[in-house]
Amino acid sequence: MQIFWHRRDPRIHDNAGLTAATRSGNVLPVFVYDTELLGTIGSRQRSFYFQCIRELQDQYRSLGSDLLVRSGSPEEVLPNIAAKHNADRVVYNEHYRPARQNREKAVKDALSAEDIDIKSLTDLVLVSPSRLDSRYPTHSQFYDDWEDVPKLSPFSDPDTDAFIEFSDAKTVPSPSSDIELPKPGYEGARERLDTFIDEGITSYNDNRDDLAGAVESPKTTVSRMSPYISVGAIGIREIWAAASEVYNAVHGSERRNVDKYRYELSWREQNYHLLYYMPDLAVSNYKTFPNDIDWRNDQEDFKAWANGKTGYPLVDAGMRQLEQEGYIHNRPRQVVASFLTKHLLIDWRKGARYFTKQLIDHDYASNHGSWQWIASTGTDSVDVRIFDPVSQLAKYDSGAKYVKQYIPELQDVPADKIVDWPTLSPGERSQLAPQYPHPIVDRNGGYERAQRVFEEALGKR
């Protein structure tokens, strides 16, 4: 008999390790509530994850089995379960986060001491990082190699007859959340994916940065799959296969739109590649600088940024969306990160930690890899990348629909004035919206300061 150790994969369908386990004999599904590890993610995502675990448990019960839930350290819990149930093997899916890899090592050592076999499989990514070169200076170079590797189809459903029949009353906690969470579990993920495939993917590239469209049609302009991908409620192969099926069936601009969505999935793949070869991605700059970056790390500026009160409407709307929904549309997500690290010169690690706390779609690799890309400390062909929050608003939300959705103080202000807000005179701003803050940093001054600081760190000044 085998144990399948569920980790960040609360699903039965398209689960590499679970399918492999059922091909080799009877399986006892187990989830270990690791309080120490789960305490490192935000309460919002933890609540969503636990809801997904409960959905998984219900699915097992509908099949005549159950999910054995125990709390504690996996290296202590799993050998005890194996001994009690006479299990001779533990199967699980690999992960790349250092803390999870440390858990794997501890579990392997503990199980080996009891002469229990261990088998791990690649499930988290489409292409195992070990199949690619260890380092790529840009995403395009990574993508060229990654694209050449054949992508696996979704794994077949496991043999449900292999699940042992048992019943156990224990489950995970059910913490409340301060925001509305998506429908949890595989069913919620599949419903969301089907909606996007049917209504949004063939216009994805055309609409993905349309912030007004994101307000009017939030379920079709972008996929909104990230919360489900981040907790593993759906397999990445299933998403790739669904997108590829459409790609092969359409032509012209529709095919271009679908291909852009598939291309965007490669960014997640590269972030896991970065983490695989650089385990300290969350704490160390990927790029080597000859001189230290002179971060300001002003606490009042950070507080204004976190609270959506910087006086830059697109930045503040993005941060308020984060506060209200635990999610930010990708375009303002990039802008708020650039504003923090460039215009305010606050260390990207502070922003990444705040995102970890607030996001329901927090992904360890994607969060830190993306922050490093925005901060110009990661993989990028541009020495100093700075998003101008004024021109970004003019380009992607000229009618200020997205901004007004999240900033009620600007509800009655003309859209052109909102776009130009940081460049208006203090008197005009006070007259138009006395409750909304003035900019906390000069637009051009912040840009020029960031340019200087990064060029000094690069040894170019």
User: pLDDT (tens digit, 9 = 90+) per residue, 354-392?
Assistant: 999 999 999 999 999 999 999 999 987 788 999 999 999
Whats the size of the chain, residue-wise? 461
- The residue to which tokens 């590797």 are assigned: 149
pLDDT score, position 425: 97
**What's residue 220's pLDDT?**
84
- Separation between Cα atoms, residue 234 and residue 65, nearest integer Å: 21
* Cα torsion through 31, 35, 41, 47, rounded to 10: 60
Helix (H) or strand (E) holding 31: strand 27-33
SS3 150: coil
Reduced to 3 states (helix: H, G, I; strand: E, B; else coil), residue 210 is coil
Q: What is the DSSP letter of 439?
A: P
pLDDT tens, position by position, 423-439: 999 999 999 999 999 99
Residues with Cβ < 8 Å from 285, sequence gap 6 or more? 293, 372, 377, 378
DSSP string, 178-209: SSPPPPPHHHHHHHHHHHHHHHTGGGHHHHTT
The structural domains of the chain, ordered by start, are: 2-123 (3.40.50.620), 185-277 (1.25.40.80), 299-457 (1.10.579.10)
Nearest partner of 310 among 347, 337, 350, judged by Cα = 337
Show the tokens assigned to 380: 């990028």
Q: In angstroms, what CA-CA distances link 356 with 251, 322, 456?
A: 39, 11, 30
Give the model's pLDDT for residue 381: 73
Exposure on the CB side of residue 400, measured as CA atoms within 13 A: 20
For position 137, what pLDDT does the model report? 85
Residue 311 has, within 13 A of its CA and on its CB side, a CA count of 19
Chunked mean pLDDT (size 10), the chain, 461 residues: 97 98 96 90 96 98 98 96 97 94 95 96 97 93 97 95 96 93 98 97 96 90 96 98 98 98 98 97 96 97 98 98 97 98 98 98 97 94 92 98 98 98 97 98 97 96 83
pLDDT tens digits along 250-307: 999 999 999 999 999 999 999 999 999 999 999 999 999 999 999 999 999 999 999 9
What is the model's pLDDT at position 335?
Answer: 98
- Show Cβ contacts of residue 385 under 8 Å, excluding neighbours closer than 6 positions: 338, 373, 374, 376
Cα–Cα distance measured from residue 222 to residue 210, given in angstroms and rounded to the nearest whole number: 10
- pLDDT score recorded for residue 428: 98
